[in-house]
Amino acid sequence: MKKTLFEESEESSDEDQGIPDKAELGAKVSVIKSVSILNKTKWKGGTLQIELAKESFLHRLAEERQQAAEKKRTPRVDRTTHLVESLKKVGVENFHMKAAVPGTEVPDHKDWVVSKFGRVLPVLRLKTQGNNKISFCCGTSDLPKQDLLQYSTCLYASWQTDVMSFPQSDIVPDVTPQPDSELPTCLLCVCLTGSVYCEEILIDVVPTLPKETAYLYARYNKIKRIKTNDFVNFPTLKRIDLTGNLIEEIEEGAFSKLPLLEELSLAENKLTKLPVLPAKLTVFNANYNMLKSRGVKSNAFRKLTNLSYLYLSNNQLDSVPLHLPESLRILHMQNNNITSISDETFCKGNSTLYIREQMEEIRLDGNPVSLAKYPNSFICLKMLPFGSYF
């Protein structure tokens, strides 16, 4: 039986699986041009409809099988080994980079950053919906890996690095942080190389901190109580700022186990008495509370030999605390209920030679006391206090 030209061309294409030569390519181009020219032309009272024949099923199947075979022959690249080798090329050994500044990006690796002590850590990104804030995490060495992967919210995560446990993608699904104290601290807060920022996130307790935390900023939340165990085992803490909360009670000893704490702010709370303060404190701020003199022990500041700045304005104090340390430079007690001052308040009444060398500023304005009635109270000062003298 005589075969048509179309059938012969199909058989030829099935048999020929090699690379077409220039003549064949030229023929195909000519066919395509002919189709585009002759399609929908008028001929013998009708309209020609010409289109290229569909690819042979057997030909397409053979191509797919060939591609699958080539894919199997291609060796799979181990992602862990590839990552380790690429980091080595830029000076990273065992996920540590010597003489690198914390916070800098690892060269040629935009998703890795140098953290504390030269550790090289991954950067994970967060997405959020609406106007909710994006929170990041760092230094969470005590947080279990499974929790970090569950919430997928860690920036500069500092657990013992295990590349195989990282998510396949660095883009995290949409996450809407909730003000829930049970969530990991750095899901709610921003943690950056020793500093934890938990501001205006409506937490009502002090969050659990990474061990290496040195600076805590938990301003303008709803914390009502500071417990003894809130700051246990944090020898690196140097600054705590709890301004603008609802703190009414601080358990005794809450700050006593912080040997390096230098700055403490409890301003804008509802305190009526002061706790025992750490010995190395240099700055203490308790402005805008409800402190009364009976809530401040007579020796509250006596042993604070490094205290330089003391802020107790806008309270309900009726006297200046006794035994203020010699190191004090600034004392703010304006807008209280102070009605009198003694010779022992700032000076030593039995000594006319005593001079307070460090004191630079005392503010007693906004109190009902008339400072002019107590001239002997200021003879040891280099300058008179701010306040009313009439």
| pLDDT tens column, 258-317 | 999 999 999 999 999 999 999 999 999 999 999 999 999 988 999 999 999 999 999 999
The answer to whether 344 and 319 have CB atoms below 8 angstroms apart is no
- At 193 the pLDDT is 80
Residues of the chain with pLDDT under 70: 1-29, 31-32, 35, 52-55, 57, 74-78, 102-103, 115-118, 123-184
Helices (H), the chain: 5-15, 22-38, 57-73, 79-88, 145-151, 185-188
Residues 178, 329: Cα–Cα separation, whole Å: 43
Residues 183, 189: Cα–Cα separation, whole Å: 10
- At 312 the pLDDT is 96
* Helices (runs of H) and strands (runs of E) counted in the chain: 6, 18
Query: Whose CA is closest to 185, among 161, 214, 151?
Result: 151
Kind of pairing between the strands at 120-122 and 109-114: antiparallel
In terms of pTM, does the model score above 0.75?
A: no
- At 254 the pLDDT is 93
- At 339 the pLDDT is 92
Q: Classify 223-390 by CATH class.
A: alpha beta
Residues 32, 184: Cα–Cα separation, whole Å: 64
pLDDT in tens, 136-188: 434 333 333 333 333 333 333 333 223 323 343 333 333 333 344 444 677 77
Residue ranges of the domains in the chain?
5-73, 75-215, 223-390
- At 375 the pLDDT is 87
Largest CA distance in the chain: 136
Please give the structure tokens belonging to residue 335: 């807008």
The answer to whether 186 and 138 have CB atoms below 8 angstroms apart is yes
Q: Up-side HSE of residue 178: CA atoms within 13 Å toward CB?
A: 5
Residues 28, 35: Cα–Cα separation, whole Å: 11
